[in-house]
Structures are given as structure tokens and as C-alpha cells.
Structure 1
Amino acid sequence: MPKEKSPSLYRKSLIAVAMTSALAGAVLANGPLSAVMPALADPVSVDGPTQPGFADVVAKVSPAVVSVRVKSDVQTTSDSGPSFFSGPGFDQLPDGHPLKRFFREFGGQDRPEGKRKRDGNRPGRARPVSQGSGFFISDDGYLVTNNHVVSGGDAYSVVLDDGTELDAKLVGTDPRTDLAVLKVDPKGRKFTYVAFGDDNNVRVGDWVVAVGNPFGLGGTVTAGIVSARGRDIGAGPYDDFIQIDAAVNRGNSGGPAFNQQGQVIGINTAIFSPSGGNVGIAFAIPASTAKQVVDQIIKTGSVQRGWIGVQIQPVTKEIAESLGLSEAKGAIVASPQADGPAAKAGIETGDVITAVNGETVEGPRDLARKVAAIAPGEKAEVTVWRKNAAKTIDLSIAAMPKNQEQAGTGQSSQQPGDGETLDDYGLTVVPSEDGKGVVVTDVDPDSDAADKGINSGDIIVTVNNKPVKDVDDINAAIKDAEKAGRNAVLLQLQTNDQSRFVALPIAKG
């Protein structure tokens, strides 16, 4: 006879059977056990590239960056209006010119917005304060800023990163590159300073950190990339700006743009802005240019540039083709200045300067920068392209005259009249009074000549560097070019004592 279970054991058995039945029912109804208690999925995770921050760079360089304050013994105007970029030549631009309208200096905070004559009836004199940025380049107090920040000032001071304000004196300026040097008396202290880097190694897309004093707010840091190189914004003959997209605003003028090694690769000097605020396009003076200028200012208080005395223009593809050059590089000499170094050395009108001291000349501005960087009195080896061959000419670099005569811009008094017509080119010409060249009296507005900018009153002096006196000389030169397989002829034009070259496509019969 089976042994009878105890009541407690019996109850446990019933509970176990019930649980087993319930679990079996759940499995039958819903599938496997895992469906009853699903496991949670892992959150989304992406192994992207690690982007370094700029905190380490900023911590090192910030003590070297200062706010520059400028005081002037003049009264401000009540109607200041916008403050435009004050680089060389901008004051002469007509109202409404796109450069004058869009390239604004970092004014407002950068410099006094306006001036007027002192009023003798008013007691005392106002001392308006303008603000910009700058940075120390030596531990004994030399610092760099923009010329347009200090322009017109009578007293200067700098505010350090820790809030200390110190008086400064102006060492010198260079309006052509918009640079200025100030000096602070160290009084026994040593300043944190930064060094210029090699901007030749800077590539489009490289990171850049801008530190400055936007809107007078004090030390402010923004970051971006180098968005372009070699920008010409029409500010002067040595334009070669680095374009950056870091947020740069009024008051950043004179402030440094750093690479990730804490070296200054540019000095912020201009912005492109219809509204005066940051739109992501700013321009910085390259460190290589700034270092040359700043070193001279510290040593002598001014800047002396090399000069060879030539009027030059770009070499277009058409000009290169007409002269037999393989590349559209270099600078063509429209006219050497009388008694200038180039003329004395034998450089002629129509020569294309292709190299200076063995360094290739990319264009007119590159030539201007290369010559300007050579100290007056030094010798230079200039390579020119003349009559389908390269020629080397040695010359002595002179100092750039302080006041170079500006060529006239008056309109020619030559009126259209009877003359011989170059039908294939839409030109009517007559011999000049002095027998040198032919005068253009009429231009067909639908012709290639009109497209190239040839106007009535222009004098055609040479064709392919051969002097012309009449239409026959022009036709002969064109035929010679055709025989040589050229697609264009090079005309030397003279207007109001200014010479220029135009490549005119050869008409195909």
C-alpha cells in the first residue's frame, strides 16, 4: 500500500503542477520563452574620427593677444555712417563701387567713425576711443596690429588678457600692407609672445583659430578653415590675402590667425560683408609678408621696398599664344620708366618678365611682391622672354620713390574721321601726327577689337613688337604671325601716355 503524502508536501506539489501548466500554456500560446522576455538591443554607436579641440592652443596663445585702444584729439561726427575698408586706393573709389560697398574695415570698434574740425567755441576736446586687436611678437613689448586701427590716433594703449591696461607708443606703419607696430614699456616684466609661421605650408582646408577683440568684447576665440589662398581684393599692389571662414567681426582687425601649432599664419585685416557682420569670409595678411614689413619697421621705423620702374600687365592666354609662350605666366612690360633700373639695364617694352633670381613670376602682383622684397641697392637677375627666346638681365634694385607720378586719365581728343579700314578687325585707323603708330578713329562695336577694349583714340604703336606706321605694316605683321602658326597678334596700344598690350585673334578667311 503506497505511502501517504503529508499535507504540506501535497500542497507544494499542487503549486508546482500549477506553475508548470501555466508556463506550458504560455509557451504554447506565444512561442519560445525568449519571446516572452525579449533582450534589449544595443544603442546606436558610430566610431568616427576623433577631432582635436583647440583648447590647448588657445590656452598657450591667448596671453599674447591684446585689445588695442586708440584715442584721438578730434570730435566725432553725429552722422558717422558705415566705415569702409581703408586700404590703399579705397578712398578714391566712387560711391556705389562694389568693393567700396562690400569690403568694410572692421571699423566702428576699429577706429573713430568720423572726424570734424575742432570747435573753438566748445570747452575741452572730445577723445573718442576706437578698438582693434593686436599681438606681442617679442617678450620686451613689440606688438603688431593693423595700420587702419591706429590711423589718426594720438595716444595708444593695450589691454592684456588679464585685464591690465598699458600705454603704448607707435613705432611705425605701412599703409600699403595695412600693418603697424606698437611698443609697450615692459617695466621689468616679460610678455608672452607668439611667432610667425610659414604660411607657404598652409593649405586650403587647414584649421585656423582667430583670436581678437570683436565689438570690444575682449579676448574671443573662433575657429574655421582656410577657404582660399592668394586673394586679390583690390586693396593695394601687394594683395595676396589668405581667406578664412572663422567668424571674424569688427574689432578683430589686427588680431592673429593661428595654425594648430600656435604659430601666426595671418593677420586679420578685412571682411566681406554686405551688413558689416560676419558672413564667413575674412581676409588675413600672410605671415611671410607681415614678417618682412614688421622687421623693417622695428629696425628703421619705416619700410623701404625694391623698385625697378616698369609698367606691367598680366599675360593672358592670347598674349602668351601671340608671343610663343607655353604658359600664360609672367608680367609683360607695357613700358619701362625713363631712367628707371629696368630701362637702364636694357629691359624693353614687350618683354615678358618670367623670373626674378630664378623664382618663377606668376603674374604682375607676384612680380611686385618679389621685387619689393629685395633691399634697395642689391643686384637681381631678371629673366625675360623676348623674340621667342629667354634672356637674362642683371640690374640693380632701387628704392621705390615716395611719390610716383600718376598717369593721366583724361579722355583722348581724337575724333572719328576718314581713315584706312581693317575690315576683318572692325578698326579704322589713320597715321599718327608724329609718325609713330596709327590712331584708331573708329571701332565696330560688334568686333573682336571692341571686345578686347580697343577704343577710338588708342594708338597702335607696334604689332608683335614690330613698329607700325600704316595699315600695310599691320597687315604685314599679321601675315607673319599666320605663317608662324599663331592664332593671335599682339598689339601695343598707347592712351594718354599709358601703354598696354592686347592680343587680337587673327581673322580666319
Structure 2
Amino acid sequence: MSFMNFVRKDRKNRAVGRNGLISTVIFGAVFGLASGAVGMLMALAYLPTIAGSDLSGYGVPIEPVVIRARLSSDMVVRGLAGPTALLYRSSDLTDVILPSDAIGGGAVLTSDGWLLTHRRVLEQAGSSTGRGLTAVIGGRTYAVERATVDSFSDVAFVKVDGTGLPVVSLGNKSDDLKVGDSVVTFDFLGGLRTAVVTAWGNVPAVDAAAVRRSSEKMQKVVFLAGTEGFLPGSAVFGTSGEVTGIYVGGSEPGMQVVPFSAFSRQISGVLRDGSVVRPYLGVRFIDLSEQPGRGTAGRGALLSSYGSLPAIVRQSPAAKSGLREGDTVLAINGESVTANRSLPELLTEYSPGDTVTISVERGSETRDVEVLLGQMPTP
């Protein structure tokens, strides 16, 4: 039975009341998910609030979080476990495969073996190419043949030699996640785990160099609370059962998820020819929304160098167009650079070869600069 037909049948069953509930429980048993997961979900329905994390200094809310979206127990039977994967170092595998030995998770993107995971999993395996990794999907093992990493988001696309694999449902819902929304993933034992969105915020800047952000690196991530048991690289699902992001792991202010919108436009290129194609500007900047009292009403990106890190990368499109250190980028094609729409996120809407108008503040003047975007170099 296909995933969508199953969902339709599930909805029909629920309409008939008690019999639908019994069917749901039976399907939960068939999928082999622990009864404890169901109990956890039911308990979640009675939790009125969770305490907010202390995210002060990162431009994200610190007030208590009210849980906005509840998960119902029928999430257990919606086929989410089937298209998920556990990733192992091949050298760690013996005749007995222990789930606790997994170094990361993944999600099956295509039936012929493309998976989504995160760069951290490749780093833990000591292999940027993916070789030396083995994926376990539905109780079967598949050797990873190659990997492609999106350097902007650090999401990794890995390929195994598979056919007829179950696939996840993709949606572009990550930008719709709100503080208090519930999301789910699977732990290394296949149990359903829930977490709550605590904030949308910037990737933490841990030192003065990191305050100078790159136009070619993702800036906005989703922060979660309650991620005990989550594996790096695991798909994070919304209450509709669609992938809303890829779990990264811990950081000082909270556990991070790469939102689906940060890498969704790269999927077609990877499936077509195994490559990631991104636009390239070539600047480093200070996000003035993170610096109270600076800039023009807390918006804009101040082009700034630090040590050996230049504000304008040599021979980059920014350099060729005449952008200078000290310029403050105010807008791209009329869309303002703000706390909610950072410079890197605005650039993701364009492709190599596009010409954009960048509005900058230089001294006391505001001017427009035409920039022909290049293709992001391979790291």
C-alpha cells in the first residue's frame, strides 16, 4: 500500500470511532514501534508549557514557550520509520549490528538510494566521500558509494546502491514552523522522539572571527528543546509527516536543525548530476541586527574583515563590482536585509549568472551596485 493511500485509509478509519482507534493501535504494532513512544506522545498532550531556553544575545526569544501544535498517536502509524536510516562506520560492523553503535541518522530521499544526512556524520566517519559508511534501512545494509555536501547548509547527500526503497515526504514547511510547534524524529532504537521549537535564530557566533559571517554560509537555524536521543543527520518531521529539516546537534544556546528551505533548491541538481550549485557573492560581514545601537535601525550587513579574513574576497563577484570594506548592504533587488531575512538567505533565491542590484550605504550616501553573481567554488 502506498504512503498516501495508507494516510487516506487511516483518516477513513478514524472517522468510524472506536474501530478506527483499534486499527491505529494494530498498525502501530505492525510497524514495531515501542509502546513507550505512544505513551510519550499521549503525555505530551497534557503538558501545558515548557521552560524557554536562555538564548539572550543571539537575537531569539527567551520567554517561556507555549506548545502550539500537538502530536496525536496516529503519527506512529504514518510510515515515518520506513524511510529513515541509521549510519555506521563500516569498520564497526560485525555479525551483530547494534543500534547503539550508529554514528548518525538519515532519511531516504529517492527509491534508488539517495539519502539526506549531515556533514557531522561524515566527519565522525572520517570520510568526506562517504566511503567507509554503511546505511541500515529497513533491516538491510547498504554500502555508501559517494557523498556530496552542500557547503552552505552542511547537509550531506549520500548515495547507496538500492532499489525500491521507501522515501520520505518532502514539504516546504520549515519556514512555517513557529515557536512552540512540535516536531518528531526517531532515535537509534526506532522509537519516536518529540521536541519543541524554541526559536528561529542565527548560528551562534562563538568568537570575534565568527561574528564576521560569510555570504556563502547559512545563518538562520531552528532551535529545539527536548532532543535527548536525537542522532545527527536525522530527518525532523512536522506533525503532517513531512520533512521540515535535518538535525545537527548541540550548541551553546540549543539544539539546531537545518531548515528544509535552506537546502530544498539543491535537491534537483544533486539528483540530476550529483552536484550542488549555489550563487556566489564573496563577502564577509557583521549582521547589524545582532549589534544593538549600530547601523541603520538594526538592519543591514556591514562588510568587515578580521585578521587574515578579508571583507571582500579577491576576484569574487563582489570585488569585480566595486563593493568595498565598510559598505553596509541594505537590500538586494529592493528586499531589505533584516534580522528575519539575512544576506545569505536573500542570496539563496538567485542562481549563478543572475545580475542583482545591491543597495549599499557608503559613508553618508546610499547607492546601487550591479553585481553579476558567480558560482560558489567547491571547498
- Normalised by the shorter chain, which TM-score bucket? 0.5 to 0.7
CA positional deviation for 1:384:
1.6
Is the 1:135–1:144 contact (alpha carbons within 8 Å) kept by the matching residues of 2? yes
**Which position in structure 2 is the counterpart of 1:290?**
263
**Which position in structure 2 is the counterpart of 1:232?**
203
Corresponding position: 1:178 with 2:150: no
Corresponding position: 1:204 with 2:179: yes
- The normalised TM-score by structure 1 is 0.50
Q: Secondary structure at the match of 1:149?
A: helix
1:302-341 mapped onto 2 (5 Å cutoff): 302-315=275-288, 316-320=291-295, 325=296, 327-334=297-304, 335-341=311-317
CA positional deviation for 1:392:
2.4
Identity between Structure 1 and Structure 2 (%)? 23
Q: Give me the whole-angstrom Cα distance separating, in 1, the residues matched to 2:340 and 2:280.
A: 13
Structure 1 residues not aligned, in runs of 5+: 1-46, 74-108, 111-128, 274-279, 404-509
Q: Secondary structure at the match of 2:178?
A: coil
| Deviation readout 1:356-399 (Å, 9 max, x if unpaired) | 13322126992134335532222112122245454322210123
Q: 1:386 to 1:294 in 2, by over 3 A?
A: same
Root-mean-square deviation over aligned CA pairs: 3.4
Corresponding position: 1:270 with 2:249: yes
1:423-462 mapped onto 2 (5 Å cutoff): none
Corresponding position: 1:221 with 2:192: yes
Corresponding position: 1:355 with 2:331: yes
Q: Give me the whole-angstrom Cα distance separating, in 1, the residues matched to 2:356 and 2:159.
A: 34
**Which position in structure 1 is the counterpart of 2:344?**
368
CA positional deviation for 1:220:
2.0
Structure 2 residues not aligned, in runs of 5+: 1-45, 49-68, 93-98, 211-216, 305-310
Report which of the two structures shows the higher radius of gyration computed on alpha carbons. Answer: 1
Q: Secondary structure at the match of 1:58?
A: helix
Q: Give me the whole-angstrom Cα distance separating, in 1, the residues matched to 2:242 and 2:248.
A: 17
| Deviation readout 1:119-175 (Å, 9 max, x if unpaired) | xxxxxxxxxx753111112233321111221332433332224x2333342241235
1:135-146 mapped onto 2 (5 Å cutoff): 135-146=107-118
Q: 1:48 to 1:185 in 2, by over 3 A?
A: closer
| Deviation readout 1:258-311 (Å, 9 max, x if unpaired) | 1111111121111248xxxxxx94211111113234444333434343222334
Q: Give me the whole-angstrom Cα distance separating, in 1, the residues matched to 2:281 and 2:75.
A: 43
Is the 1:331–1:364 contact (alpha carbons within 8 Å) kept by the matching residues of 2? no
**Which position in structure 2 is the counterpart of 1:194?**
169
**Which position in structure 1 is the counterpart of 2:73?**
55
Q: Give me the whole-angstrom Cα distance separating, in 2, the residues matched to 1:389 and 1:397.
A: 24
Is the 1:331–1:363 contact (alpha carbons within 8 Å) kept by the matching residues of 2? no
Q: Secondary structure at the match of 1:375?
A: coil
| Higher normalized contact order (CA 8 Å, seq sep 6+, divided by chain length) | 2
- The normalised TM-score by structure 2 is 0.65
Q: Give me the whole-angstrom Cα distance separating, in 2, the residues matched to 1:191 and 1:364.
A: 35
Residue type at the aligned position of 2:77: A
Q: Give me the whole-angstrom Cα distance separating, in 2, the residues matched to 1:343 and 1:364.
A: 26
Q: Secondary structure at the match of 2:110?
A: coil
| Deviation readout 1:59-83 (Å, 9 max, x if unpaired) | 221211121223259xxxxxxxxxx
**Which position in structure 1 is the counterpart of 2:235?**
256
Q: How many residues align?
A: 286
Is the 1:65–1:136 contact (alpha carbons within 8 Å) kept by the matching residues of 2? yes
Is the 1:313–1:333 contact (alpha carbons within 8 Å) kept by the matching residues of 2? yes
**Which position in structure 1 is the counterpart of 2:221?**
241
Pick aligned residue for 1:155 from 125, 132, 140: 132
1:28-43 mapped onto 2 (5 Å cutoff): none
